[in-house]
Amino acid sequence: MKWVDCIQKVPLFSGVSPRDLDELARQFVEEKVAKSAYVFLQGDPPDWFYLLAAGEIRIVSHSQSGKDLILEIVSPGDPFGAVAVLNKFTYPASAQAVVPSTVIKLPSKTLFGFIEKHPQVAMNALSFTGERLRKAHRMMKEIAIERVERRMAYALLTLMDRTGEANPKGIRLDLTITRQDLASMVGTTVETAIRVMSRFTKQKIVTTDKSHVTILNRAALERIASEE
């Protein structure tokens, strides 16, 4: 089936037989998403379980003051909106395409029917939800009490581990990211994000070209991210 390779890499479906995965893949629906269009909006009912097949999606939380906070950059092969689906609450943030993207989606009712027949998936769901909540807790803690430099270093390391591709200069983040995006990811202003990135550039920790970032010195970023 077309989407089996994508689905079988998702930790939620670990331990499921190839035959059952193939059957599940037949239930997914493909959807094309234009650049800047939303897959779902904050507060929408969790009717679909989503996987990113191609492109790039950012998960954005909208505050009452009008400011946006980027919670996550979704890469191909990653699920998104899953915690809301598994816990049956509205999507806590919006999902927006950074570039033209392809998503595949499974009706929530179909997912729960599959979970009922596969106890291993239910156990995987508990682990998956717990890990996502731990990441969210860490992010809120960082925004509340940690220095911007430390938050920026941690964000860059996270993106590098998920999307980094080695090149002669270092490790290039394989996604389109602006200063505004970085500011929104670490909960600061664009001006502060620019100053921090300029400092990292002068220290030869990173280099930038257009909308991409290349990590030159991972060890330096790790030191900054671990500073108290």
134/154 same-domain check: no
Rounded to an integer, what distance in angstroms lies between the CA atom of residue 199 and that of residue 147? 14
Which of 145, 211, 137 lies closest to 172 in space, CA to CA? Answer: 211
Domain boundary among 143, 163, 179: 143
Instruction: Summarize pLDDT for 135-191 with one digit per residue, the tens.
Output: 766 666 655 545 788 888 988 998 888 888 888 889 998 887 888 888 888 878 888
Q: Do 92 and 185 belong together in one domain?
A: no
Report the distance separating Cα 54 and Cα 5, nearest Å. Answer: 13
The pLDDT of residue 96: 95
Q: Are 63 and 27 in contact (CB under 8 A)?
A: no
Quote the domain boundaries for residue 206: 147-226
- The residue ranges of the chain whose pLDDT is under 50 are 145
| pLDDT for 145 | 45
Residues 169, 76 share a domain: no
pLDDT of residue 137: 61
Average pLDDT over the chain, rounded to an integer: 87
Q: How far is CA 10 from CA 4, 52, 78, 108, 170, in A?
A: 10, 11, 7, 16, 28
For residues 185 and 210, membership in a common domain is answered with yes
CATH number at 59 reads: 2.60.120.10
**Is residue 75 domain-shared with residue 21, that is, in the same domain?**
yes
Residue 153 maps to which CATH number?
A: 1.10.10.10
Q: With CA atoms as reference, report the closest residue to 58 among 90, 91, 97.
A: 97
Kindly list the strands in the beta sheet with 206-209, ordered across the sheet, starting from the edge strand earlier in the chain.
164-166, 171-173, 212-215, 206-209
Residues 105 and 208 in one domain: no
Q: Name, in order, each residue with C-beta under 8 angstroms of 225's C-beta and a sequence gap of 6 or more.
A: 150, 153, 154, 157
With a threshold of 0.75, does the pTM exceed it? no
